[in-house]
Amino acid sequence: MRVLFTMHAAAAHLFLVVPIAWALKAAGHEVIVATQPDIVDDVTRTGLTALPVGDPSNIAERLASIPADQQIFGSGYDIAEERPEVLTYEYVRDCMAAFASPLALDLITDDSMYDDLVGFCREWRPDLVVWDSITFPGMVAARACGAAHVRSTFGRDHWGRMRSLFLRLRAERPGAADEDPVADWVTAKLARYGCAYEEEAVLGQATVDSMPVWTRFPVEHDYLPVRFIPYNGPAVIPDWLKTAGPGRPRVCFTLGVSGREVWGGNGSIRATDLFEAVADLDVEVVATLNAAQLDPDVKVPDNIRVVDYVPLNSLLPGCSVIVHHGGTGTFGTSIAHGVPQLVVPAKLYDEGGMARQVAAEGAGLVIRPEDLSAATLREGLLRLLGEPSFTENAARIRQVAETTPTPHDLVRDLEEVVALHRARSGARTPTG
């Protein structure tokens, strides 16, 4: 069958689905990855076939030019909000409306991406579209060409949780039956290409979920669990990583891919605080910082190795602790290698929520950004290095993750989604 993956211009989102795309390709299916031109080179470096769609996103430059109060993060609404006292009907309704608007979803994917993707899919006729869960052009293109379609998560499924909560709260509210800002937004997107609204357009016919089972929300939806397989992009293992190291604990420090490509090198952790925290500790710190993330006037302590890039999948097996911002790929890779985590959550999506989940599992600690200092970093590191329970729990959740179906197993599930879609819709026989 023909399978189209699509995501907006974020390499971190691409990296999450590369193992799944390759599993489909290895099973004999034809795979194309469609994305905005900004990350086409990242796609081709995975060995997969890329299709540029839409105008360049230039998301980092555009975000830098937009006042904070005109961005979703300055709107007063948080899709990851979980406090029951905040989640009133009005808040949930307006929060989803804010995301389905130029503040968020229309900021990252404009009409040019919808037009190009729909045009291509109507010609190429994919059997399945796998769309990043905030890249709605994928869903629209699937509906426009008659393909089956599933979402892929990039964190805990707060969109699905909020949608489920909205529908429940609306049902309990007299006179609100016609209120549905998300359905209105999706309806307009579909109508542009002659397609009608159905509820499955909001969450897909199913959702590929690479998050740990203990993070999943109780949403009535068809989730297809898949084991997170680390993919960090093309890389060469440096000579210094081929050896066992200096005989003292190794600590990884990273701010992730998105901190560089979307947020201009900014992150939740100041390198100067880290340097001060570890300068006199008997540890080796590997800090993955590029020029934009490192003040050239700051002296780097002797026990810190600064490298522009090193693949986490190769670095973490030799690490005792990882200090990071809370990105999904970093979480997943840390769990896959059983490494305790010290997280100072960024404020981009659900970094704080995931950090609290890992801490609740006893496999890490959280430092709130407002509590960040050299002293709190040092205290957290010493706890993670000195208390065996953190390493034991990190090993436990790694073992749980290893029981999750692999991308190879997921291929059968996706083939069944396509078969079911064909049976229901009378669609054509798959191509190949």
Give, as one character, the DSSP assignment of residue 269.
S
Q: How far is it, in rounded angstroms, from Cα 322 to Cα 301?
A: 18
**36-64 per-position pLDDT tens digit:** 999 999 999 999 999 999 999 998 888 88
User: Tell me, what amino acid is at 2?
Assistant: R
pLDDT band at 298 (very low <50, low <70, confident <90, very high): confident
Burial 95-129 (b: 16+ CB within 10 A, else e): bbbbbbeebbbebbbeeebbbbbbebbeebbbbbb
pLDDT at 246 exceeding the cut of 80: no
Provide the 10 A C-beta neighbour count for residue 74: 12
Q: How far is it, in rounded angstroms, from Cα 321 to Cα 252?
A: 6
Structure tokens at 156: 């805990």
Structure tokens at 274: 């880290």
**% residues pLDDT > 90 (the chain):** 81
pLDDT at 359 exceeding the cut of 70: yes
**Span 212-223, average pLDDT:** 95
Nearest to 254 by CA among 209, 288, 224: 288
pLDDT at 314 exceeding the cut of 50: yes
pLDDT at res. 431: 44
Q: Do 154 and 133 meet the contact criterion of CB atoms below 8 Å apart?
A: yes
Token pair 């006037």 is at which residue?
297
Token pair 């073992």 is at which residue?
399
pLDDT at res. 75: 86
